[in-house]
Homo-oligomer: A and B are copies of this chain.
Amino acid sequence: MAKFVYDFTEGNKDLKDLLGGKGANLAEMTNLGLPVPPGFTITTEACRRYMADGGLPGEEIATHLAKLEAAMGKRLGDAEDPLLVSVRSGAKFSMPGMMETVLNIGLNDRSVHGLAAQSGNERFAWDSYRRLIQMFGKTVLDISGELFDEALERLKDGRDDLDLTAEDFRGLVGTYKEIVSEQTGRDFPSDPREQLDLAIQAVFHSWNAPRAVLYRRQERIPGDLGTAVNVVAMVFGNLGMDSGTGVAFTRDPASGRQGVYGDYLPNAQGEDVVAGIRNTVPLQELERIDPSAYRELLDIMARLENHYRDLCDIEFTIERGKLWMLQTRVGKRTAAAAFRVAVQLVDEGLIDLDEAVIRCTGDQLAQLMFPRFAEDAPNKLLTKGMNASPGAAVGKAVFTSDRAVELAAKGERVILVRRETNPDDLSGMIASAGVLTSRGGKTSHAAVVARGMGKTCVCGAEELDVDTRNRRFAVGGTVVGEGDVISIDGSTGAVYLGEVPVVASPVMEYFEGGPITDDLVTAVHRVMRHADGARRLAVRTNADTPEDAARARRFGAQGIGLCRTEHMFLGDRRQLVEDLILAETPDQRQAALDALEPLQKTDFAGLFEAMAGLPVTIRLLDPPLHEFLPDIVELSVRVATGAGDEKDARLLTAVKRLHEENPMLGLRGVRLGLVIPGLFAMQVRAIAEAAKEAADARAEIMIPLVGAVQELESVREEALKILADVGVDALIGTMIEVPRAAITAGQIAEAAQFFSFGTNDLTQMTWGFSRDDVEASFFSRYLDLGIFGVSPFESLDRDGVGRLMRIATAEGRATRPNLKLGICGEHGGDPASVHFCHELGLDYVSCSPFRVPVARLEAGRAAITCLDSDTR
């Protein structure tokens, strides 16, 4: 027979699927012999059954309740000496929108007297009773919390909560019961077991609360996991000044000292800390208030760390001098703390370096690489919003997109401030150093687009009153007008008035080749060194200039995975490119190509020098030619209004000829190479000649946008002739960026020595949307609807794009076992995507220079994690 209820003595920390995170950890602590109030967990399986047929495992609950009563020597809701319990939800993953906790179950008009008698504290008993009704009313009976809050405020009438008397609370109980009757049409349930069952059911129900459903959709948490429910004997931190409640980390993430990082609130229950009714005191004060409890707590912290081999966060309550542990879990931490703590734990012998690497994420490393606002500099914090896209931006506040563009054109740094952004704001966002909005969350338009651009963004700063018409915002008493300087911190969500000095990141300086200056950099250095030793993926960079290549090499890049030659066609070469496009005869075209060739050769020579001894993958020209010509609308207007000259008219003809409705799906990549005689040949010759003259060049020639092996064969044949002619060796391979290339990879590998997954285009074509067009128009809506958990341009879509990559990898290697495989889309620097690439067995990832350290770390983590799961 299935078992739906587990006593805390029956579980352990590895049963999170069944008992939820909270229940599993309570059981773990119980079995460690730590002072956990007795209790039991109703499993996630019971939740699933409840949702299927509405039934609770009533008898099992009764059995366990009886056991609990026996252990405590009290009966639930007994009139003389009542056992009280809390009911707490506890899913495998914590989830906003789910019911949290109902305390003091078991109180009613009779047992409140028993509690008063037993505790010798009538005020406490009536306070506890009103808390039950309030919490039960809100979370189980779905009554607006404001009704209870308002009643309490009326009663307090300005007094502190400690000033309220037993009589006051008794009156409040009456008021609260009236609220319940009025709002639900029935009396507050006085039967303790009914209270318990209703609370359990409410927890189960809350699994499907809209916010929880949305969150799961966005986070791709399966909807059918269900939540567990913990029923725990109550202990009270509000029995007097010898009681209290606290939260803590087991060690200070900055300094590493144990027992110093937390808050304690005497004579209070847990929810009072959250509500902030009085100021908490630092945890260290407890040493003075209750030295024995403090020592015991320190001892427990040490045991927990030893046991969990990690920094934990805990909740505890002291009831008349007796310490009780209410919760523990591996603690969340800042990016810097992650590295520091991991290395400390290594030095303490608790974990090995493999484990340390696993505990430091690439996202955390990336945070440490951004410049930050100086912490010690004087600043005026205006408000905090959501940390939507990291970085530290300073600039003049502007309130319209047009104004942003205007000032930016004059060289001013601006911050675009809007209630919320929409696609019309795109140009303004591009022109700004940062974006600040008063509405919308991390999936809002502003947040999504800013992240896509790598632009600092704080969103949903709800205290801002943005007045676009009058070009100003107000917050607190401060009014900020257009042109006033503000500073926004995309990593913390802080918004400051005035210019806050920005300090460079010591971690970035270290990666740039600087010294190891402090313990944080030391920690990063040790973690990175170990990750590099562990990883199987090489990390290359996407770089088009010798400067970028050299910087990436300092960051640890092992070659260039993508050099986009189109970037070399801009600037003062535009005229030559124009000549090429406007050529009317083969001779004119060849003349333009001949003029470009030595320039290209110089370009490539610089890259080969910067990356001497390492592979350099050069992609032949990819974008449609009209990208090198003026915009059709602008030019048409200029010509039509007579503002253009004769050359404009000629240009317009060419622009019209080359105009495509969907340039992304047009004449570009290998198609250009096959249609424009001599273009690819010129590039290949420039590569070959530069490689021949360079010291230790390892050229790899990459053909873009191949969809059929025949395309590649045609280009390859010509390229091989040129290479033989110049007398240089180079690999010839292809991007896999068109779905057909992935689907027919087995054929394509016959003509390719390497594949490089161009996951930007591959994502666009697999989903059928162009990033430029759709990120602005519907991605935020899609994220809200949970259609994406994360933009597929940010992190590889495993089911769709990923599956195509899997097919291409397997079938490409089946054709050519030594096929070299890499990725050069922006996903190459995204942590989750790096892991996927490792799982796929690619040879390397390639990313922008600044993401190289992130990719190195994540490649190491992926290798260690896979090893772990392989040997498990």
Contact = CB atoms under 8 A, between A and B. Distances in A.
Contacts of A660: 770, 773, 777
Contacts of A121: none
Contacts of A632: 633
A787 interface: yes
Which of A633, A637, A664, A665 gathers most chain B CB within 10 Å? A665
A764 B674 contact: no
Nearest to A746: B799
Q: Which of A637, A743, A801 has the most CB of B within 10 A?
A: A743
Copies per complex of this chain: 2
A666 interface: yes
Interface string A814-844: 0000000000000000000000000000000
B778 A766 contact: no
A777 B743 contact: no
A766 B781 contact: no
A722 to B, nearest CB: 18
Contact of A740 (B738, B766, B785): B766
Interface string A732-773: 000001111001100100000000000001001111111011
A782 interface: yes
A636 B639 CA distance: 12
Contacts of A772: 661-662
Interface stretch (A10-18, A19-27, A323-331, A703-711): A703-711
A774 B666 contact: yes
Interface residues of A, number: 59
A774 B665 contact: yes
Nearest to A667: B777
A766 B738 contact: yes
B662 A664 contact: yes
B657 A424 contact: yes
A803 interface: yes
Contacts of A804: 739, 743
B710 A665 contact: no
A671 interface: yes
A663 interface: yes
A678 interface: no
A770 B668 CA distance: 12
A481 interface: no
A641 interface: yes
Nearest to A639: B637
Contact of A777 (B666, B774, B799): B666
B710 A770 contact: no
B765 A739 contact: yes
Q: Which of A740, A764, A770, A787 has most B Cβ within 10 Å? A: A740
Contacts of A94: none
Nearest to A675: B778
A665 B747 contact: no
A744 B774 contact: no
A707 B779 CA distance: 14
Contacts of A738: 766-768
Contacts of A598: none
A740 B767 contact: yes
A785 B710 contact: yes
A546 interface: no
Nearest to A638: B640
B705 A675 contact: no
Contact of A768 (B424, B739, B777): B739
A674 B743 contact: no
A501 interface: no
A770 B661 contact: yes
B667 A665 contact: no
Contacts of A334: none
Nearest to A786: B710
Given A777-B666, A777-B667, A743 B707 contact: no
A631 to B, nearest CB: 10
Contact of A765 (B640, B765, B799): B765
Contacts of A671: 769, 774, 777-778
Interface string A446-488: 0000000000000000000000000000000000000000000
Contacts of A786: 710
A554 B836 CA distance: 55
A778 B799 CA distance: 33
A292 interface: no
Contacts of A785: 674, 710, 714
A606 interface: no
Interface in A303-353: none
A782 B217 CA distance: 45
Nearest to A803: B743
Interface in A187-235: 217
Contacts of A636: 633, 636-637
Nearest to A708: B787
A724 to B, nearest CB: 21
Given A708-B787, A800-B707, A665 B764 contact: yes
A498 interface: no
Contacts of A800: 707-708, 739-740, 743-744
A794 B640 CA distance: 39
A714 B788 CA distance: 13
A97 interface: no
Contacts of A774: 665-667, 671
A779 B217 CA distance: 43
A423 interface: yes
Interface string A162-193: 00000000000000000000000000000000
Contacts of A708: 787-788, 800
Interface in A425-442: none
Contacts of A739: 739, 765-768, 800, 804
B773 A661 contact: yes
Contacts of A667: 773-774, 777-778
A770 B662 contact: yes
Given A637-B637, A662-B662, A800-B740, A675 B765 contact: no
A663 B769 CA distance: 9
A428 to B, nearest CB: 14
Given A787-B711, A800-B707, A769 B641 contact: no
Contacts of A663: 661-662, 773
A706 B632 CA distance: 32
Given A739-B739, A787-B708, A799-B744, A781 B661 contact: no
Contacts of A765: 665, 739, 765-766, 768
Nearest to A640: B637
Contact of A714 (B737, B761, B787): B787
A187 to B, nearest CB: 37
A772 B766 CA distance: 19
A77 B674 CA distance: 52
A740 B714 contact: no
Contacts of A217: 710
12 contacts: A633-B633, A636-B636, A640-B641, A661-B663, A662-B662, A662-B665, A663-B773, A710-B786, A711-B787, A739-B767, A739-B768, A739-B800
Given A661-B773, A739-B739, A743-B766, 16 more contacts: A661-B770, A662-B662, A662-B773, A663-B773, A664-B768, A665-B774, A666-B770, A666-B773, A674-B781, A674-B785, A675-B777, A707-B767, A714-B785, A743-B799, A743-B804, A765-B768
Q: Which 6 A-B pairs have the closest CB atoms?
A: A665-B770, A740-B800, A738-B768, A662-B770, A739-B739, A710-B787
Interface of A: 217, 423-424, 632-633, 636-637, 640-641, 657, 660-667, 671, 674-675, 705, 707-708, 710-711, 714, 737-740, 743-744, 747, 761, 764-770, 772-774, 777-778, 781-782, 785-788, 797, 799-801, 803-804
